[in-house]
Amino acid sequence: MKTTQAPTVALVGRTNVGKSSLFNKMLEKPKALVSDVAGTTRDRNEGECLWRGQIITLVDTGGLDVDFADEIETNTVKQAELAIKRADVILFVVDLKTGALPQERRLAATLAKSKKPVIVVGNKGERHSERLSVNEPEWQFPNLPSPIAVSAARGTGVGDLLDVIYETLIAIGKPPVDPVTIDAINVAVIGKPNVGKSTLLNGILGEERFITSPIAHTTREPNDTLITVDDKRYVFIDTAGMRKHGKVKKAGGLEAAAVRRNERIVKLADVTILVVEATEPIGTQEKILAGFLKESGSAVIIVVNKWDLVEDKKTNTMNEYRNYISASFPFLAWAPVLFVSALTKQRVKTVFEWIDRVQTNRSFTVDQKTLNAFLRNAIVAHTPAKGKGSKPPKILGIKQVGTKPPRFDLMIKAKRTDTLATSYIRFLQNRLQEQFKLVGTPIKVHVKLATSVSK
């Protein structure tokens, strides 16, 4: 089904004027990291804002007053400029507490030449006197309207601001759209710092959507983008590089907040892409991430990046590396392994095919008759093994109780569930994977006592 594209509104301004706080308040959820540290927001951060029963797309951006001291700052400005270029309306956010700075006057002059509607927003207007200051000469920028006073921290004036935004969009023929159910596959991309996650996403999306840099921890917060390919919708989420919890705890601050947010995102993701580096050995960080994925319920694709840098490749090099992956992540043996080069875009587009495939498998259902036959054959192939207790329990049946991922209840006749060996549960999970070709999705088998089922 063809959907209407929501108009886009970009929030721009210098660092620490409260763009991310205002972004969160307008979305009514803490989507962007908020901090007193200048430069917290680096990539564009998008979200859907519902007001008056209709939707617009908001884009948060990094500060435009950086001094281009490094590659990250240069790319931050580049992302903000792209957001301005694509926006239908621009929100120029200023800080009423600090007064108009010279860099804001330069930015105001640039925005006035953009030939796009610009709404000046005076943020941090907690006090009445601060809100009244928007009428003073220092806040009157040539060819731009007087600021609308708001307080993102308290929510004061935000409703009035949204009214102006919506009226402006209607006036330029880009009206907000009716809400539609977004039937999209949520794809999280994780890996240790500087493994090439953002470069991979840029290759998949076909544009420089996410900031890339050889500096570790370039991405500080999960950033997402919604795209449509062949009438299918995908939300791709780039996440900060995840390190050992001990190191993150010591680092504290923004990095710790970013990692906690990553963990929540992976739990909500339909598909998670774990990126490893072909030219580096798999270490503790990757194993911690893989172990976390085992419990998340997300479908998993393992992407081996920088495959173009592997020297002296032979016909069996890929199979050898798959065996290495399997030995490193034995509990993710069901996950497909892809070999790509994010930089050269080698085999990057195959990622879409695998996302569709593992998501389909994650939604797998099987009828009871087929499931009964499966269990009979599995018991013949491998008799139940005992766990705690003097003998293995009798298995009475199995039934599917859910999807995303596929979940099954295994009924046994016993006084306690641990009388069946955990190794036998793994055997059934592996057998389900193999028989029904459920590559890429975890399988959950929960042991239940027959007495508790019959109640």
Can you say which residues are annotated as belonging to the binding site?
A: 13-20, 60-64, 123-126, 191-198, 238-242, 305-308
Give Cβ neighbours of residue 219 (< 8 Å, ≥ 6 apart): 42, 43, 197, 198, 210, 211, 238, 239, 240, 241, 258
Q: Are 384 and 393 in contact (CB under 8 A)?
A: yes
Q: Give the annotated binding-site residues for GTP.
A: 13-20, 60-64, 123-126, 191-198, 238-242, 305-308
Residue among 74, 64, 87, 58 at smallest CA distance from 13: 64
Whose tokens are 């269990």? That residue is 375
CA distance 455 to 435: 32
The CB-based long-range contact list for 40-43 (8 Å cut-off, 24+ gap) reads 40/220, 40/221, 40/254, 41/76, 41/221, 42/72, 42/75, 42/76, 42/79, 42/211, 42/218, 42/219, 42/220, 43/76, 43/79, 43/209, 43/210, 43/211, 43/219, 43/221, 43/223, 43/238
Write the CB contacts of 258 (distance below 8 Å, at least 6 apart in sequence): 33, 219, 220, 221, 222, 239, 240
Q: Which string of DSSP letters, residue by residue, matches 177-191?
A: B------EEEEEEE-
Order across the sheet with 8-12: list the strands: 45-51, 54-60, 8-12, 89-95, 118-123, 148-149
The rounded distance, in Å, linking the Cα atoms of 177 and 6 is: 6
Return the closest-CA partner of residue 226 out of 212, 239, 209, 240. 209
- Do 172 and 212 contact (CB within 8 A), yes or no? no
Backbone angles phi, psi at 341, to 5 degrees: -125, 105
Q: Report the helix count and the strand count for the chain, using DSSP H and E.
A: 14, 15
